[in-house]
Amino acid sequence: MRTLSQVLSQTAARYPQRPVIVDNGKRITYEELNARVDRLARGLIELGVEKGDKVGLWMPNIPEWVIAYFAIARIGAVVVPMNTRYKPHEVSYILDNSEATTLFMVDAFVGIDYREMIADVRRQLPLLKNVIVVGEKADNMLSFSEVESLGAGLLADDRLAQRDEKCDPQDNVFILYTSGTTGNPKGAMLSHHNIAENAKQVTEVLHTTEKDVFLLAVPFFHCFGCVMGITGAITWGASMVPMTVFKAKEALELVEREHVSVLYGVPTMFVLELEEYRKGKEGGSGYDVASLRTGIMAGAPCPVEVMKGVMEELHCNVSIAYGLTEASPVITMTRFDDSIKKRVETVGRALPGIEVKIADDDHKPLPPGEMGELACRGYNVMMGYYKMPEVTAEAIDSEGWLYSGDLATMDEEGYVRIVGRKKDMLITGGFNVYPAEIEEYLFTHPKVQNVSVVGVPDDVMGEVAVAYIIPREGETIDPQEIVDYCAGEIANFKVPRYVEIVDEFPMTQSGKIQKFRLRDFAKEALEAGKLTKLKPSKG
């Protein structure tokens, strides 16, 4: 078992001069990264960050994210990754619930002023002592370079070595918030060992070596980017090329220029890359993707035709991975020696040290071929939800089985097919979206009497939200008004793309909304061209 600090320091000792991060033409070697992590870690200790303190990371895919990630881990503190599209309500909740004492952030991203947002919510966060900014700082903030410089002046200080030695691989190092079905996100606590071992196993399946170059457009604040991407690459001494905003054309240009060999993405990204590649080929100015070797498609159901296109046209021998944040995150993967049928129709079989079962509603195992809820047990199961013991007990039983909420079947050889979701959830562009979260916010609209949110298929995003709304008596609601009410207040991928105003919902005899019927209505209306797609008129 290893801590994340050991993963980096051991690789840096093996490959000191290999580039670890290639960003806009600049290269950071493993030796340089390890030294910068040391400096930042010393600076954090000097600022009073203690072992076990929670530290928010609210930045896009930039080198400073990687430096801060390992520095926080090296001093025994806990990383709290934050979605770059969060708005004030979400930022305030995560920092408050995690009891964060320190926050790393950028000054602005995609036109959003983060400093202004933090200034608005900081008075509600008495525990937040340090705000460290990459870019231009505001009042009561420190710059990233200032904290690094602070640590550079403390090279003779032995506090860092003492702190690093006290870190245990079983310590909590990561609290990643997943949207809750009750409307409040839950913080999944992962240990150094959870992350280090899962990252190693995932990239081992890909036959990763120090010669590989990873293109990472998947966000670092997500397990896909941080565990499978950053930690996976660093485990073997590979290089990574981060992208702050995914654009298919730019991604293929980076593949060509940096000789990328490992490509990660949610199906949406691969769909757009395939379209761009085909367009380039037809136009006679194609992209050279000969360096591509493998990659991972995950985060949402992977269409068979997309998988085939990636393998046959991009010649990228991708693996399908399935998992969830609470499982650190990967449970099953397809392997290179699997049959094509298995590789395009299943999510593979369990990684070593992980048991998988398909269970009925009483958590009893079902025979091969029968559909039930997928559960796993092993080194990868999270430590629990932060400050939520009762919710943890609902997810993990007394025998250590973690229940995914996904419906699946498993054959005699252990290959898993995901059938659907038991949880009331949709996946938009690779992000988990829980309708309860959107509904909770829409209930604050003064004209809304009742609301129910379901998902419908979308060619680009995979799924998008449809909000069915019953107005208050005497009120009239324009669908555009609802979309604009959400814009800028909840993350953009959660904003409904369709809004239907209705008089009533289909209900059960016990008074519960029959969401399956609403989903059917929405799908039928979409197929008949009766749904009007909306987008915010502001922000």
**In the block, which residue shows the tokens 């993963």?**
7
291, 282, 296, 221: which is closest to 260 by C-alpha? Answer: 291
Alpha-carbon gap, residue 305 to 316, rounded angstroms: 14
Which range, of 86-90, 121-125, 496-500, averages the lowest pLDDT? 86-90
pLDDT in tens, 254-273: 999 999 999 999 888 898 89
Q: Crossing angle of helices 88-98/114-121, nearest 10°?
A: 60
The pLDDT of 499-513, averaged and rounded, is: 78
Using omega within 30 degrees of 0 as the cis cutoff, is the peptide bond preceding 16 cis? no
Residues 34 and 74 sit within 8 Å (Cβ to Cβ):
no
With a cut of 90, say whether residue 501 has pLDDT above it.
yes
Q: Which two tokens stand for residue 27?
A: 């290269």
113, 298, 140, 122: which is closest to 206 by C-alpha? Answer: 298
One-letter identity of residue 514: Q
Q: Which two tokens stand for residue 480?
A: 């555009």
With a cut of 80, say whether residue 420 has pLDDT above it.
no
Q: What is the percent of the chain with per-residue pLDDT over 70, rounded to a whole number?
A: 97
pLDDT in tens, 336-345: 999 988 998 8
Considering only the C-alpha atoms of the chain, give the largest distance between any 2 of them, rounded to a whole number of Å.
72
Sheet holding 354-359, edge to edge: 354-359, 372-378, 402-410, 416-421
pLDDT in tens, 303-312: 778 888 999 9
Alpha-carbon gap, residue 107 to 84, rounded angstroms: 12
Residues 18 and 239 sit within 8 Å (Cβ to Cβ):
yes
Alpha-carbon gap, residue 294 to 315, rounded angstroms: 8
Residues 6+ apart with CB under 8 A from 321: 202, 228, 296, 297, 298, 330, 332, 333, 334, 347, 348
The DSSP-derived string for 472-533 is PTT----HHHHHHHHBTTB-GGGS-SEEEE-S---B-TTS-B-HHHHHHHHHHHHHTT-PPP
With a cut of 50, say whether residue 430 has pLDDT above it.
yes
pLDDT at 281: 87
pLDDT in tens, 271-286: 889 989 998 888 777 8
In this structure, how many other beta carbons lie within 10 angstroms of the beta carbon of residue 470? 17
With a cut of 90, say whether residue 513 has pLDDT above it.
no
Q: What is the percent of the chain with per-residue pLDDT over 90, rounded to a whole number?
A: 80
Return mean pLDDT, the chain: 93
Residues 158 and 412 sit within 8 Å (Cβ to Cβ):
no
pLDDT at 407: 86
pLDDT at 345: 86
Residue 5 backbone class (left: φ over 0; alpha: ψ -120 to 50; beta: rest): alpha
Q: Which two tokens stand for residue 117?
A: 């947002």
pLDDT in tens, 218-251: 999 999 999 999 999 999 999 999 999 999 999 9
Alpha-carbon gap, residue 229 to 148, rounded angstroms: 25
Alpha-carbon gap, residue 199 to 336, rounded angstroms: 18
Q: How far from chain centre, in Å, is Cα 186?
A: 14
With a cut of 90, say whether residue 495 has pLDDT above it.
yes
375 falls in which pLDDT band (50, 70, 90)? Answer: very high
Domains of the chain (ranges plus CATH)?
A: 4-191 (3.40.50.12780), 246-421 (3.40.50.12780), 426-527 (3.30.300.30)
Report DSSP state, residue 235: H
Residues 130 and 47 sit within 8 Å (Cβ to Cβ):
yes
Selected residue with higher pLDDT from 334 and 472: 334
